[in-house]
Amino acid sequence: MKRQFYLTAGLASVALGSIGVILPLLPTVPFMILAAFCFANSSPRLEAWLLDHHVFGNHIRNWRDRRAITRRGKWAATVAFVISCVIALLFVALPWSLVPIAAALISGSWIWTRNEPESEKLPVRSPSQKE
């Protein structure tokens, strides 16, 4: 029963993450990280598929190993938050249009305080520099 629950939750997370590719209101990578967690408890084959995925695999491993989010991922989240806030301001009446803004500020602050993968923090050397 527990295995089926995790499998169902993992599949639902993949579905929501897939919808998030199209809609700026839904985050994609967090749903894929949740799916990987659920698959780790239910389906090693699906977990391996996510870990080997060319788009999501590195993000999932970075989060699992170091609780790290890439700088590019942080910027992508910020852009998605801005788009969501603009859409809310255009199409939702006050005070409800302020809810996505508050969520973006809280979530965005949390995202920008996460670690970045070590490989991104290495200094960039020009080809003319010797070791």
Give the span between the Cα atoms of 101 and 55, in whole angstroms.
28
pLDDT digits (tens, 9 = 90+) for 76-95: 889 988 988 899 899 999 89
pTM of the model: 0.73
The predicted pLDDT at position 24 comes to 67
pLDDT recorded at residue 124: 46
Q: What is the DSSP string of 49-72?
A: HHHT-TTTHHHHHHHHHH-B--HH
Domain locations along the chain? 1-66, 70-119
- pLDDT, residue 102, reads 93
